[in-house]
């Protein structure tokens, strides 16, 4: 037997269907005809950060991938498959990597604690800390350091997106763009980090640029 919470979900679903049909009788027919989102959103699995709601978008307007701490890892077939499908087949125009303050994954990576199966995943965030250790260690306030690691993690995941062959090709051929954002849970605001990718990539893209 379903719990009260699960039963309420199905009730909510019926109410949502009625609301959508009241506004647009062809709403679900249109959804069933396919999707043409312009945006790929890569975010955290945190239950407090829902992509469409935060951005004020509707079903069909954004293609979404979420995992712990919004990571883009070269060996993660799930993330790489999503990027490939979104770029090559959906032809998205923008890719957003969105982290958030108060991120449990980033917080866990800052602590010297054995978390079992999570260790290999969190090691990728610790690698971000290693790359920016001098800057982070200079921040005395722990919360400020934590927030800065959230921002730097977004930056490095954006770089990982840009390293992929399918993104490089789409950027050159049709101007696909990558953006790094952070969601401030305490204020509800989306923050564009305005990352200067040209400056960051200038010294490394000769290593990662792929040619036919």
Write out the catalytic residue numbers. Answer: 44, 46, 48, 100, 103
Count of Cβ atoms closer than 10 Å to residue 157 Cβ: 25
Residue 177 sits at φ, ψ, to 5 deg, of -120, 150
Interaxial angle between packed helices 77-84 and 165-174, expressed in degrees from 0 to 180 and rounded to the nearest 10: 20
d(CA 183, CA 56): 13
Tokens representing 209 are: 């640029």
Q: Which residues of 192-212 are buried (b: 16+ CB within 10 A; e: fewer)?
A: ebebebeeebeeeeeeeeeee
The answer to whether the beta carbons of residues 162 and 72 sit under 8 Å apart is no
The answer to whether the beta carbons of residues 200 and 157 sit under 8 Å apart is no
């Amino acid at each position: 037997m379903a719990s009260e919470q699960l039963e309420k979900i199905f009730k909510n679903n019926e109410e949502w269907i009625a609301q959508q049909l009241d506004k647009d009788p062809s709403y679900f027919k249109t959804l069933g005809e396919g999707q043409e989102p312009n945006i790929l959103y890569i975010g955290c699995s945190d239950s407090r950060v829902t992509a469409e709601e935060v951005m004020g978008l509707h079903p069909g307007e954004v293609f979404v991938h979420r995992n712990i701490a919004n990571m883009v890892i070269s060996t993660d077939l799930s993330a790489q498959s999503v990027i490939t499908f979104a770029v090559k087949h959906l032809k998205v125009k923008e890719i957003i990597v969105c982290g958030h303050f108060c991120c449990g994954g980033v917080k866990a990576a800052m602590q010297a604690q054995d978390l079992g199966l999570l260790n290999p995943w969190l090691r990728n965030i610790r690698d971000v800390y290693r790359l920016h250790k001098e800057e982070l260690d200079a921040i005395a306030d722990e919360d400020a350091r934590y927030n800065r690691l959230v921002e730097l993690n977004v930056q490095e995941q954006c770089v990982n997106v840009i390293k992929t062959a399918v993104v490089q090709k789409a950027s050159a051929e049709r101007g696909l763009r990558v953006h790094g954002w952070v969601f401030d849970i305490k204020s509800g605001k989306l923050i564009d980090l305005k990352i200067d990718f040209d400056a960051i990539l200038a010294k490394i893209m000769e290593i990662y640029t792929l040619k036919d």
